[in-house]
Structures are given as C-alpha cells and as structure tokens.
Amino acid sequence: MSFINYSSREIILKIVYYGPGLCGKTTNIKHVYATTNPDTRGKLISLETKAERTLFFDFLPLSLPAIKGFKTRLHLYTVPGQIFYSASRKLIMKGADGVIFVADSQEERFEANLIALDDLKENLEAHALDIEKIPFVIQYNKRDLPNVTSVEELRKALNPMGVPDFEAAAAADGGPGVFETLKAVVKMILQDLRKQ
C-alpha cells in the first residue's frame, strides 16, 4: 500500500520489477534512470555481483507531478531473479503498490518465466496481496533478439488474466517498451488510489 506522508504532503509508490534471472529487470531501471531528467530522479543504487546480476535490489526514487497537492514519488525496485534468493524477493515485495513482471522472450527461458511467475504469486500471497487485485503488468522483454517465443505463446502461458502487456527491448537503442510498461502500472496504481 502506498505511503502517504501528510506532514510533507508526499505520496510514495513502490513498484517492483519481478522476473527470472537476467531477464532485463535491472536494464529497465537503468534505462529509466539514464533517460530521466536528473532534477526528477534520485540516486540509482545497484548491488551487483561480478556476473552483473542484482543481488538484492535496485532503488530509484523518481518524482511525478503533484496529485491533489501531494508530491508523488516512485520508488522502483528489482528483485534478484536467481532461485536461491527467494527470501530477498519475498522481503522486497513487502508493501508493493504495483508489479511489473519482466518475461525473457528467449525460447530457452520459457520455463524460467513460468517458475518466476509462480514464485511471484507465492510471494504476493505471503504479504496478503492478490495478483488479480494488485496493479500488475507484464513486459515481454528482449524482443530484439533472435529465437524468441511468439508474443501469442507468451501471452497464453503468462497472461491468462489479460492484464496490460507490452513488448520491449530494454537493452536496445531507445529502450522500446520500457516507459510504456512503467506508465501503465503507474496509471493503474493512481486509479486505485483515487478510489480510496
């Protein structure tokens, strides 16, 4: 649930990028950071191993226009995708306002996407969150690579609920799909906030 600080008139929204290892979660955040006005962003914190994998999380506070006089900030996190960091993923999910599931479109990563999605559902349930109720979008990343699974097949396997989904190439020039995905989940979170 979003954090509202009435004394500073600030709303903080926590968005978590979730997916299998090396699917592009960190690449998404790095693209957002690199292409955002330095006056509207905070410091990018990234904890990586020598293999370029995020150990715990990335955190990027990003300012948005005010809503009803409240300054709005996004805190963007990624979870470590490797299976053995389950406890870290569970901890990072606490207090999430929205989730972006980053699927790796490469054919050989199909099964890893399914495992990561099941893991996400378990970790949401551990915090009394429901994947069908939390603002949730899916990004089919790495569409610029050869040997990718068709979007139709990915959609059938990963998106039977019909949530908003986007094709992306976060590492490609211009990062197509990165901001579209982020904007979609932010819009869903803000719609939920206005209902409260």
Run means of pLDDT, 10 residues per run, the chain, 196 residues = 84 94 93 90 76 57 84 89 75 94 98 97 95 97 98 98 98 97 95 83
Alpha-carbon distances of 174 from 155, 171, 182, 184, rounded to whole Å: 24, 8, 15, 18
Contact 70, 10 (CB under 8 A): yes
**Containing structural domain, residue 177:** 3-195
Question: What integer pLDDT is reported at residue 52 of this predicted model?
Answer: 47
153: CATH: 3.40.50.300
State how many domains the chain has: 1
Cα–Cα distance between 6 and 16 in angstroms, integer?
Answer: 24
Question: What integer pLDDT is reported at residue 55 of this predicted model?
Answer: 46
Cα–Cα distance between 97 and 159 in angstroms, integer?
Answer: 19
Greatest extent of the chain over all pairs of C-alpha atoms, in Å: 52
